[in-house]
Chains A and B, each alone.
Chain A
């Protein structure tokens, strides 16, 4: 039991993985995130603010850079101005010093020497030769002080009269200052009285009183008309002490030495020598009278950069006069290109970055908007999907309830006395209703799978009987259509597997149903193999086939006898896999010539592990699937094309459900299809292997169910030209425990039957086609053969039975003439059906227990059994009890689920329990679940005590059968799910009861009595 629980876990794990995958697809990962969404309205404002900020910063940068350059410009101007002023001043002072030196010269050689050592010629020459020392002075001259009293003597001495500036004879004044010595350049002022000019007179007076050099204000010079100033030095007769008074100096004055400074050319010259001359404008002013500056150099109205003006002081060593130099730039300050470029670049970069951020923000917002929209759409779509599933489920359920009534009524109606037409109508209605219920169940399934609500069971079941059941569903249809329907389960497949029989069956039913629907001729072949085995065979096939070809060639010539395909019916199939070439390896491995009753199911038992993978193939020779439609075969509600549903009906939901189911079972489904040739659907499924002890127990169950064991040891010869078909027949016979030999033709069989052979077969099964195709040739041989046999051992004559898909009356007659039995085994073959036919032929008296006489059989089953009937309805209880008592059962009743549970406390003596489903308080499902729970606990306890093995018991498992009036599939599902073993319809019917009960009591019929 522990192992089986493990197995269940394993299987459910596999299934859960698939469920998980489905869920993952449905539920996307949800994540929290920070979003600019919250700030979306600030986005444009932030952008504007950003741009403004950028502009401000740019302006600041510009100002900063501009300020810097202005400062530097100013400094430059300052230094240039100062430099100019200093040079001008220096040059001026140098000249003044020279004039001073001349003054000293004149005093030394004119006055201190007697007679004078200097005359006009000497002075002129000396000054001319030393003119390079005084480049600023246009010329120098010496004027002597002459008082009016000495004028006449002076004029006489020199021989000319004193003249005024206007070159007229000077009027009488207090004193005069006529020029007596002059440089050649200014010789025109010879004899002119310097005191006659206002400027000069002031100058002279100031010079002799101060004793230093003095200069005049600027005026137009006589010669050049340049602006200039006159420098005047006093010359004294005697050496004066430094502390001499003004009066002393005036009295000691002998004359005046003067020089004209051509300021304009002086400055012009000077500036010409300096760099940057063009860049700046220089003006020189005499600002002695500060309110009225007199220009000495430059033009007052000259244009220029008036914004930046710098002044430098000039000191020309004349304390009375003050001068200044004014400098400014010639041009306005140029635009600061680097600052502008930097600023522009910066602001552009800033704005660009801002715009990018803004754009990105906008983009994010937009994308997020879209995402939100999409998410909402998605959630709406999902909601719609869920709603759809719910709607489907609800509506299906709602439809089922009234349909239940309709079907019930129809069943009742059919029970009444009806005319044949009415019966036909009612039957049609019932069939339609059942089809509708099936469809609704399918839709419901689909919805359940989509909602992830479908759980697979894990119960042991007999795969072969499931497959047989499916076959029996379609036998009628396939017979009518004349197509051959066959099933083959490989011997390697265990008798019992663990899984969900209902769902497994559903998939197979769907596939076979499709095949039957779409096939008009040929065959449908359902095969079940172990996946690893199938793989091994396909792999090895390529290798072996070449080597085997030689030895097989004779046989295959005999076998096929024509160019037909070696498939089941001879029609070509879509997948070559099925042809005899491959198939024989499966069969070969299992021993084609059957020897004794060896149980093939154990041959692969050593393959350990609890899980097996089955491969199920459904092959048909139908219309196939158009290539264009092949990729949407598994999509729900998709059929190959719209005309398909018109021609063949159906909704196209089946395959999609099958796919889902197969995936839930941990397998895959795929197909190969060729239009007009056929389709082969193959799916795999992972199922559990049933444990040994469980096998023992349920093997009996299987036998009890349908396969009588009385055929064990019978010998049968199968005559069939088609090996695949023969293998199928052999498979079914083998299940009955029959020893089988195969002959490919009647002739071969006749040889086997030749006299002298020790082991005569009991039965010869002949395939109809093989018989009639070979009839002309063989019919003479066969009867003769028979007759020969006849007189050797009459009682041991093998019975001859025909196997056919469909057979006409005349053919039956002909067969009878040839010595066949009346009974023809009709295909599709099923073990139980074959058994029934054989019984009929062999005449074993089993009919009684099989057919109508089941009541006595039932009696033997139920006799002495202690059975609990649970129903809340007294009448029902009484009737059920009465029915069971009739068969000799010992019946106890309980009127509720609770009462039943009390009676069923372990240990109890009940052999079975019939449980009503719909009861107040605790319904049948719940009660059963509790029972199972109790049993589980008890079993675990037993297991812990280790008492199971010694008692030879399998633990507690009370068969619980549901009693229900509900004929709906889902109810059955529910029954199985809650742990019930089956159900009987209410009210009791003998046949139904027999079927349900037989499963559980066959294995120990005598134990009770």
Chain B
């Protein structure tokens, strides 16, 4: 695949991510923040996000699976963290799932929380998958000597 083809694919893929609501303008902001002085900014932040999120999701699963009474304060704190980081990188659907999750936490609704946990996980893995694809595509572009055509995402 030549570079231009790859670049086009990248643009299309990115746009589809926005269109399908996986990402929002915050991600675009992140992309704007990335420049020569800070070339790996997006990847760095997103991998931080992955690390954090996996840890948080693990913790969450543990807390919710506890047999004797779920500590909703803890759950809420974790979800808050997750919501904060997801909104920071613009993982919109994860963030939305977190919002719903928190309202169930307020109600202390175990069933709803479980459902939301699943949804959050699902959304998280989806977006992780998508972002990893995106990054690998970017790496390929860079490896092929091209540059990531951030400017072409003009509509943002």
Which chain A residues have a beta carbon within 8 Å of chain B's beta carbons? 401-402, 405, 408-409, 412, 415-417, 871-876, 878-880, 882-883, 885-886, 916, 918, 920, 965, 986-990
Contact = CB atoms under 8 A, between A and B. Distances in A.
Given A965-B87, A986-B87, A874 B33 contact: no
B103 A876 contact: no
B88 A876 contact: yes
B88 A873 contact: yes
A812 B92 CA distance: 46
B29 A875 contact: no
Contact of B45 (A416, A875, A989): A875
A573 to B, nearest CB: 48
B149 interface: no
The listed residue with most B CB atoms (<10 A of its CB), out of A401, A875, A916, is A875
A417 B15 CA distance: 12
A920 B89 CA distance: 21
B99 A409 contact: yes
B81 to A, nearest CB: 5
A986 B26 CA distance: 10
A812 to B, nearest CB: 32
B77 to A, nearest CB: 6
B128 interface: no
Interface stretch (B1-9, B17-25, B112-120, B137-145): B17-25
Contact of A873 (B35, B84, B106): B84
Nearest to A885: B38
9 contacts: A402-B103, A409-B99, A872-B81, A878-B44, A879-B89, A880-B88, A920-B77, A986-B84, A986-B88
Contact of A415 (B25, B49, B51, B77): B25
Interface residues of B, number: 33
Contacts of B83: 965
A987 B26 contact: yes
Contacts of A412: 24, 92, 96
A875 B49 contact: yes
Contacts, number: 75
B85 interface: yes
Given A401-B106, A882-B41, A873 B24 contact: no
B153 interface: no
Top-5 shortest CB links A-B: A875-B85, A873-B84, A879-B88, A987-B26, A876-B88
B9 to A, nearest CB: 21
B134 interface: no
B87 A878 contact: no
B41 A987 contact: no
A952 to B, nearest CB: 35
Given A405-B99, A965-B84, A989-B29, A874 B52 contact: yes
A229 to B, nearest CB: 133
Contacts of A986: 84, 87-88
A273 B99 CA distance: 133
A925 B41 CA distance: 30
A875 B89 contact: yes
Nearest to B90: A987
Nearest to B85: A875
Contacts of B21: 416
Given A876-B84, A883-B29, 4 more contacts: A416-B21, A875-B84, A885-B38, A987-B88
Nearest to B21: A416
B45 A878 contact: yes
Contact of B85 (A402, A409, A415, A873): A873
Nearest to A888: B37
A416 B84 CA distance: 20
A886 B48 contact: no
B87 A987 contact: yes
B107 to A, nearest CB: 10
B59 to A, nearest CB: 13
Contact of A882 (B24, B30, B84, B85): B30
Contacts of B44: 878
